[in-house]
Amino acid sequence: MNRTLLGFIFLMASHSAFSQFRENPLINLENFDKQPVHWGYFLGINQYSFNFDYKQLNDDYKDIQVSKNIGFNVGLIGDLRINDYMNLRLEPGLYYNQRDLYYLGITDDNGYFNEVDGIREVKSTYIHVPLLLKVSTKRLGNIKPYIVGGFSGAINLGSNADSDQGIESGEFRMKKYSYFYEIGFGIDFYLYYFKFSPSIRGVFSLNDEHIPDKAPDSPYTSNLNNMHSRGIFLNFTFE
């Protein structure tokens, strides 16, 4: 993830946090958390990968390498207050990402890695809907740290699950529906007009997402038992 962006976020958060611990800070949005329901939206970036479970690893079947790229997220927030420290949240969003797969076992006639047949792009556009429990600490001036976790479902609009083509023809297929568990943390900053919150979450799929090629001896899928997505979300929420 871009170091300049992370450095900027850290400096912004540190400066804001320091200003909130000064003596007698001005309390912003004092009654904001007393609302039974409130709404918001988020923007962010993501980075997806795959975790592969193989039948065997040897000279004929080598590990699949994943080149991870930065994608973007956008979505809405619905927040239901349970008590002073717990909230139930629904955060439907659109997540776009691309992963590049390197099948190291695909070689040319000279035994070298075949860059034409051995590299496949996996473009994914997810409609991602998590149901999360947010557990916060006591408010400290104008900040409130929290942890968050829950479960989610996603529709992969780029899955190509109904295609008759296999990976060899350039068509990478994944299952259309995926299920995840998520866990992360963040900090609420109570500003003058709204609440701003940067957060980071790890996302882990629960179901096998790969669709094997029809050819039983396919060099792309014949050695795979399972394929699971893994992801990191960095979101900035405005409520």
Confidence of residue 1 (pLDDT cuts 50, 70, 90): low
**Which pLDDT does position 14 carry in this prediction?**
47
With 60 as the cut, is the pLDDT of residue 4 above it? no
What are the structure tokens assigned to 141, written together? 């001036």
CA distance 117 to 122: 14
Q: Where are the domains of the chain?
A: 3-238
Percent of the chain whose pLDDT exceeds 90: 60
**174-195 mean pLDDT:** 95
CA distance 116 to 120: 9
Q: What is the pLDDT of residues 92-121, one digit of tens each?
A: 999 999 999 998 888 877 778 888 888 888
- For residue 44, give the nearest of 206, 238, 174, 223 by alpha carbon: 238
With 60 as the cut, is the pLDDT of residue 9 above it? no
Confidence of residue 193 (pLDDT cuts 50, 70, 90): very high
Q: What CATH architecture applies to the domain 3-238?
A: Beta Barrel (2.40)
Q: What is the pLDDT of residues 65-83, one digit of tens each?
A: 999 999 999 999 999 999 9
Which own/partner pairs from 169-176 qualify as long-range (CB within 8 Å, at least 24 positions apart)?
A: 170/120, 172/101, 172/120, 172/121, 172/122, 173/210, 173/211, 174/122, 174/124, 174/209, 174/210, 174/211, 174/227, 175/207, 175/208, 175/209, 175/210, 175/211
- For residue 229, give the nearest of 116, 152, 131 by alpha carbon: 152
**Which pLDDT does position 60 carry in this prediction?**
58
Pick the residue with more confidence: 110 or 41? 41
With 50 as the cut, is the pLDDT of residue 62 above it? yes
54 exposed, middle or buried (CB, 10 Å; 0-12, 13-18, 19+)? Answer: middle
Pick the residue with more confidence: 56 or 187? 187
Distances (CA, A) of 220 to 4, 95, 113, 178: 37, 26, 14, 21
Q: Which residues are CB-contacts of 109 (< 8 A; sequence separation ≥ 6)?
A: none
The chain-wide mean pLDDT, for the chain, equals 87
With 50 as the cut, is the pLDDT of residue 17 above it? no
With 70 as the cut, is the pLDDT of residue 142 above it? yes
End-to-end Cα separation, the chain, in angstroms: 25
- For residue 172, give the nearest of 114, 107, 101 by alpha carbon: 101
DSSP three-state, residue 8: helix
With 50 as the cut, is the pLDDT of residue 56 above it? yes
CA distance 239 to 229: 29
**57-62 mean pLDDT:** 63
